Amino acid sequence: MTSSTQSLVSVIIPVRNGISHIREAIDSVLGQSYRQLEIIVVDDGSDDFDYARLKEIDRRIEVVRLPGCGVSRARNTGMRHAKGKYFAFLDADDVWFPGKLEAQMRYFDDHPDVGCVFGGFLKWRRDESSGAFPPARSLWRDCGGMSGSAPERSGWIYTRLLSGLLVGMNTAVIRREVFDLLGGFDESMRIGEDYMFWLKTSRVFEMHALDGPVALYRIHSSSAMNRLSEENHQARLLRIARERWDLVNPDGSGLSLESFRKRLALTEFTHGYNHYWHGNPAVAARAFRAAVAGNALPVRSAVYYLLSQWKRLLGAFYKRQ
C-alpha cells in the first residue's frame, strides 16, 4: 500500500498531567511505517505543561484543550475532531510497537466487513532493582509482518467479551462508522467505559484480533488495573449487558446461563482477592461470599472469606486500642 492510497488514520491520545511519558507515546506513533495519520492530543485539564507546544514536534499533531471532563469525554472529543477514515487509540503513558498500524490497516483492507482490529499487549512494569521502566525498545517487536488473526479472539465476540476476553484500548483501531453509529464512549461512566464500548461495538460489527502483541501497557499506581472500588463494576456491567442484549451473538451463537453465572462469580472472586490484598477486607468478605454462592473456586473462595473476616475483625480490634 503506497502513501498515495493510504486512508487517513486519526490517533487519539487523551492526557491529564502526563508530560513524563507522552513524548514516548507520540514518538511510537510518529515512528510507524504507516505514514498517513494525524495525532489528536486531548489535554483534559492538565496543569503540568502547555500541551499546545506538542504541535511543534510534527505538523500532524493537533492539541485540543478540555477543562477536565474525564477520559470518555476526552476520547469522544478527539473522535469528533478527527478527519480520518479510521480511529486509533493510545493512552499517554503507553507505546505502540513498530509496524502496528501497517499490519492493522492491511488487515482492514483484506477484511472489509470488520469494524475493529485489535491485538495483544505486554504489561510494562518497573524494574524491581532500579525502580525504572525498561526501555520500550528492549521489549517491543516489529509487527509490520503480522497478517493472521487469532481465531479464538476474532469474529462475533460479544459472548467472548462477556466471558472475559479483553480488548486493550491502546491496541485497537476502529472504522469511523463505528463511532458514527454508536456515538462513542458513555461519558457518565468513570470506570469500565471502554469495556461497555467494546460490548456495544461487538453487537454490530465483527472484531478481529491480530495474532500477537502490538503495544506496551504501562503498569503503575494510576493504571486502570490498579484502581480499586468498593463496587464490583465488572459484575454490574455484565448484568447490564445481559439485560440489554441477552447472551446471544448476532450470528446466533451464544453463552449458556450457567456459564454466565459462573463468570459473574469469578469476577466476585477477583474483586475479593484484590480487596483482600490491597483494599477493604469487609468488601473482600462480601465478594468471596458471593463467589462461594456462585460456585466459583469454592474452596479457595471459602478460605479467603474466612481470612477476610479475620482480617476485618483484627483491623477493628486494633482501631479500638
Write the pLDDT tens digit of every residue in 88-133.
999 999 999 999 999 999 999 999 999 999 999 999 999 888 889 9
Kindly tell me if the per-residue pLDDT of 315 is higher than 80. Answer: no
Give me the pLDDT at residue 314, please. 86
pLDDT for 40 beyond 90: yes
**Exposed/middle/buried for residue 257 (C-beta within 10 Å: 0-12, 13-18, 19+):** exposed
Average model confidence (pLDDT) across the chain: 94
pLDDT at 228 over 90: no
225: confidence class by pLDDT, cuts 50, 70, 90: very low
Compute how many other C-beta atoms are within 10 angstroms of the C-beta atom of residue 80: 11
Report the DSSP beta bridge partners of residue 14.
42
All structural domains of the chain with their residue ranges: 9-220, 256-320
Which are the contacts of 57, defined by CB distance < 8 A and separation ≥ 6?
A: 23, 26, 30
46-61 pLDDT per residue, tens = 999 999 999 999 999 9
Q: Is the pLDDT of residue 199 over 60?
A: yes
CATH number of the 9-220 domain: 3.90.550.10
Question: Considering the entire predicted model, what is its pTM?
Answer: 0.92
pLDDT at 3: 52
Give per-residue burial for 107-140: e unless 16+ CB within 10 Å, then b. Answer: bbeeeeebbbbbbbbeebeeeeeeeebeebeeeb
